[in-house]
Structure 1
Amino acid sequence: MPSINEIIKREVNPFDLVNLRTGNFWTENQDAKSVVESIHQEVISDIEELLDLVARDHRSRTVLLIGDAGSGKSYLLGRLKLTFNDRAFFAYISPWPDNDYIWRHILRYTVDSLIKIPEGQQESQLILWLKSLSAFTKLSVKQRIFNASIWQLLLNNRQKFIKHLKDTYKQASIYNPDIFFGILYDLTDPELYTLACEWLRGDSLSEESMELLKVKYCIDTEDTAKNILANFGKISTDTQPIVLCFDQVETQSNWNSNPQPIFNINTTIHNDNLKNFLIIISIVKDAWKQCASRILQWIKLELNG
């Protein structure tokens, strides 16, 4: 029988800076059996409380997660996804190379994460989110009497699908609603699903592909990317929360000279009253100390490594 020391040596050390650097939790799945429950448990409990608050009142909230290099912040983000993915949709946002493309970067990584299939599910986070929109879950008296499913009734009629969403969210100031809701409809078509996801990610599509999606442009500007991402928040009034995990933000472009862009993103989400986001911003403690005086707003959870 192997000794405890031999067992430990065989296991991966999530805090080993030399042999392992944890990254995107969708591509580096954690083994639930390897999780040590006591590590970071207080922080996890605090974040769970915030997640529950967002789930109850659908108001977006922000957490600043601070810890020493190697204290397990990225690993903790993966553990949060592993623990709470049945209660929220999770998106991993890596550092961006250029502040001039920050909204497009966030949108791309958000959609990349939403198209992932959570453990125990048969459909992607994106489809689960779409089906859980209030437009499809709140039934009229007539629909309840006849046990009718709005989702099923609208699946085969693009124009009725778009009109229903426009009527449901007419007070939400949706950006280009015909196009956005049309893309959401295309997500329900297995033959168009991949193309629709590529459009939402901001990929450059051929004219033939755009014709299939009935769109005339791709998402190629910061303003368009910001507004498309905002659309997700504007109609997520009754869905599970979407957790945006910004990891290793201190490694972003020009952090030392200008750390403000990520916090401008946070301000926009709150000022525009975008619903159901829990924003987690992970940063190394030393980098935070150097820039904290220049940051205008935050909620801080101290992560002791």
Structure 2
Amino acid sequence: MNPLAALPNPFEGNVVLDAWTPAAVDVASIHKHAFEQCLLALDSASRGRPDSVLIVGGAGSGKTHVLARLQHHLVATANTAPDGVLRCVFVSARLQTNALMLWQLIRRRLASDLLRKQQGLTQLQRLVAHQVAEARGESPRRSVMELRVLTGADESISEHLAEVAQRLELGRDLCVALDHLVHSRFLGDAAAWLRGDSLPESALERLGLGREEHEDREEAARRVVTDLCRLAGETLPIVFCFDQIEALQSHPDDRESLFRFGRAAADLADADPNVLLISCIQTSFHDLLDVSVRDADRARIFKRHAPLAQLTREQVDALILQRLDSVEDLQKLRAQRRGARFHPFDERFMARLRAASPCTPRKVIALAAAEFEQLQRGMPPAPQDVGAFLGDAFAARRAAALERGRPEESQDTLTHGLPMLWALGGRGAAGGRPPPGADLLLPASPEPLLVSVRNETNMTSLAARLRQLAPLADGKAKAAGRVVILRDVRLGITRTAKRTQEYLADLERRGARLVQPSIEALAALEALRSLLSDARAGDLAASGDVVGELTVRDWLAAHLDEDLRELVEDLAGRGAAPPAPPEARLLRDLGDLMLRSFVARLDELAPALGCSPEEVLALAQQHADRFGVLHGPPVVLFAHVPAESLADTAG
């Protein structure tokens, strides 16, 4: 019997997805220089001198791995330090977003990473404990221990936050939200506010926060992020890791998005002396980034350069040995073959690995995985068809989006993914800055589309945003394009929100259209944009070989998901005729009721909607993608939910 047959393949899993993903193994000699540059830059930021590192490497060279090594190092050194406290605030962001909404992405990532827990406390709680300790002249470790047993009655933390907020001129609402989060009060709503999500008036009142501002959301996000940088910088450096900068581009020649990244990153560098920026870029993309970013910005955000070289012979050997020794049973088996250092591999195969081109960690591990599988099975693995690989990858990402996608995340999906989808059919690249109120300007005939994504759950804020669209749908401004309003189908429009309903009805009378993509279409669009983003950043590989963006684009165009076809038709106005305003209002009201109850009797729905049961039933049957019908008696309507999205609650 083949002793390898029952063992796991130690070379499976060769991509580090993000900086928070622990690497299977870590060879310290690989990219040692880049890692040391990060540590030197962190030391500089810790002493109040803002610093930055640009990590440059080919596809599969290990750029994200370096970030993960840094994050692991920071946790390990904090855990082993005498005081056992946080050494910095660590934030990681893959820039899969529309460049016009970059600050909103940074805000979400900063908020999410601040609320990551380790040993029972979040980064935010550890940060505040560190500040309180310094203010009291006490050990940070003592403050951390106190925070573990902190009750809502403790006022010292609140007093500290209020004092710091006043000194640093932080916004009142930010201070209130942080106080809730440190004390673990109203965690869901407070975390949502910190991320920048729209909150209903009732939630804002419960939190003690002001009404939702009608100002530019990008500017509001920039202010919150820079305020948080100043808060952290009081005692600790804050590290921002930016990966997949390439994904910001709406098309291959898009320099404006890279310029915007440079501006945003420079603003971060200026936010506080304790800021460290670490950016990752492909070698082939470096020149375009260099000419797209202003000289003044480049000097601040790319102070240190850390190129990633290909692996040396010694590094290849060390990588293989560490992977082989990571499986305990294989380690025992190898101990019996003391004369064969790389057993079960022979020297001929090792020579092939050392000569791999490009000799990157991803390539070496992929070749080793295939060889190990061949030794296990006694035959080489079937060559992987790229089309089959992309089909499986798209299906897996679509299923994951159905299972875990949240309405709050669909703005990124739409604003980042729609330009990619639009370009697949040869419709032209989205270009130019859209007018105020619109998020996208999509080329179309006879006139372009002005797309506005309106996912606010706060009806007052939604009404203000809709009112802002009126000039675009009226008079001379109408020549600029046709207005299309996109709203996640899982977000209702409250029937009692009269102004919101009135503004929307008025826009529809002026020719604007409300399009609510199905949950399946949103999941497919999320899969599309993540595949293209990974391909553009060199992070998509089949059997260790890079799958390029052009290959992915061609495959997606040839195998376009049916839900995405329908979305394109709806956006272009070639789908089903939009309902008349009264019917559209009834559809919105029915959607709002079903989102609240999910299941309801037809004879109870009709009076609540002020119409006959026959009208409600006909409307539900016309929109089978949103509503289902159980013919009784009694007749029951239910909200349509894809089966895949119920995976978490299936038992």
TM band (smaller chain)? 0.7 to 0.9
AA partner of residue 306 (structure 2): L
Q: Distance in 1 between matches of 2:209 and 2:37?
A: 43
Shift of 1:154: 10
Offset at 1:114?
A: 1.8
Equivalent residue of 1:29, what SS? coil
The answer to whether the 8 Å contact 2:44/2:50 transfers is no
The match for 2:129 is 131
Residue in 2 aligned with 1:41? 32
* Other-structure match for 1:102: 102
Asked if 1:294 corresponds to 2:292, the answer is yes
Q: What is the distance in 2 between the residues matched to 1:167 and 1:188?
A: 15
Residues in 1 aligned to 2:194 and 2:160: alpha-carbon distance in whole angstroms: 21
Amino acid paired to 2:280: S
- 1:161 deviates by 5.5
1:156 to 153, 158, 170: 153
Which of 2, 16, 23 lines up with 1:30 in the alignment? Answer: 23
Structure with bigger helix share is: 2
Partner of 2:44: 53
- Whole-Å Cα distance in 1 between the matches of residues 278 and 101 of structure 2? 20
Residue 71 of structure 2 corresponds to residue 81 of structure 1: yes
Name structure 2 gaps, 5 residues minimum: 79-86, 311-651
**Which amino acid letter does the alignment assign opposite residue 91 of structure 2?**
A
Q: Is contact 1:244-1:278 (8 Å) kept?
A: yes
In 2, Cα distance between the equivalents of 1:302 and 1:196? Answer: 40
Deviates more, 1:225-234 or 1:261-270: 261-270
Letter of the structure 1 residue corresponding to residue 266 of structure 2: T
Match for residue 278 of structure 1 among 241, 253, 276: 276
Flag the 1:90–1:164 CA change in 2: closer, same or farther, 3 A: closer
User: In 2, distance between residues paired with 1:97 and 1:276?
Assistant: 26
Q: Aligned equivalents of 1:203 and 1:65: distance in 2?
A: 32
Alignment-mate amino acid for residue 78 of structure 1: A
Alpha-carbon distance in structure 1 between the residues aligned to 2:126 and 2:175: 16
- Pick which of 287-296 and 42-51 moved more: 287-296
Partner of 1:66: 56
1:261 maps to 2:266: no
Q: Is the CA contact (8 Å cut-off) linking 2:57 and 2:307 kept in structure 1?
A: yes
Q: RMSD across aligned C-alpha pairs, in angstroms?
A: 3.2
**Is the contact made by 1:210 and 1:216 (CA closer than 8 Å) also made in structure 2?**
yes
Distance in 2 (alpha carbons) for counterparts of 1:148 and 1:270: 29
User: Which of 190, 196, 199 is the aligned partner of 2:193?
Assistant: 199
Q: What is the CA–CA distance in structure 2 between the aligned matches of 1:233 and 1:104, rounded to whole Å?
A: 15
* Mapped contact 2:161–2:175 kept (Cα < 8 A): yes
How far did 1:41 drift? Answer: 1.2
1:44 deviates by 0.8
Structure 1 residues 148 and 99: alpha-carbon distance in aligned structure 2, compared to 1, 3 A threshold: closer
Which residue of 1 is the match for residue 120 of structure 2?
122
The change in CA–CA distance for 1:138 and 1:52 in structure 2 (over 3 A counts) is same
Q: TM-score, normalised by structure 2?
A: 0.39
Deviations 1:153-209 (A, max 9, x none): 996366x755543434544332x2x21111111113333233211110111222222
For residues 41 and 79 of structure 1, what CA distance do their matches in structure 2 show?
10
3-state SS of 1:240 partner: coil
Partners of 2:53 and 2:306 within 8 A in 1: yes
Alpha-carbon deviations, 1:83-132, whole Å to 9, x = none?
Answer: 123333321111132112110111101111221123xx221112111222
Offset from partner CA, 1:241-272 (integer Å, 9 cap, x none): 22111101012133732211111112112334
The DSSP-based 3-state class of the residue aligned with 1:25 is coil
Segments of structure 1 that go 5 or more residues without pairing to the other structure are 15-19
Shift of 1:288: 1.0
The alpha-carbon distance between structure 1 residues 116 and 264, as it changes in their structure 2 partners (threshold 3 A), is: same
* 2:182 counterpart SS class: coil
Q: CA deviation at 1:226?
A: 0.7
Bigger-Rg structure (1/2): 2
- Could you tell which deviates more after superposition, 216-225 or 280-289? 216-225
Q: What secondary structure is seen at the aligned counterpart in 1 of 2:276?
A: strand
Determine if contact 1:242/1:276 at 8 Å carries over to the other structure: yes
Q: Secondary structure at the match of 2:117?
A: coil
2:313 paired with 1:304: no
What's the TM-score once normalised by structure 1's chain length?
0.80
Partner Cα separation in structure 1 for residue 239 and residue 3 of structure 2: 40
> What is the alpha-carbon distance in structure 2 between the residues aligned to residue 123 and residue 41 of structure 1?
31
1:186-265 → structure 2 map (5 Å cutoff): 186-218=180-212, 221-254=217-250, 256-258=253-255, 259-265=258-264
- 1:154–1:161 contact (8 Å) kept in structure 2: no
User: Percentage identity across aligned positions?
Assistant: 22
The corresponding residue for 1:173 is: 169
Measure the CA separation in 2 of the matches of 1:164 and 1:217: 25
Q: Secondary structure at the match of 2:193?
A: helix
Q: Higher relative CO (CA 8 A, sep ≥ 6), structure 1 or 2?
A: 1
Q: What secondary structure does 2:233 align onto?
A: coil
Q: Determine if the alignment matches structure 1 residue 183 to structure 2 residue 177.
A: yes
Question: Which whole-Å CA distance do the structure 2 matches of 1:39 and 1:83 have between them?
Answer: 15
Judge which range, 91-100 or 163-172, deviates more: 163-172
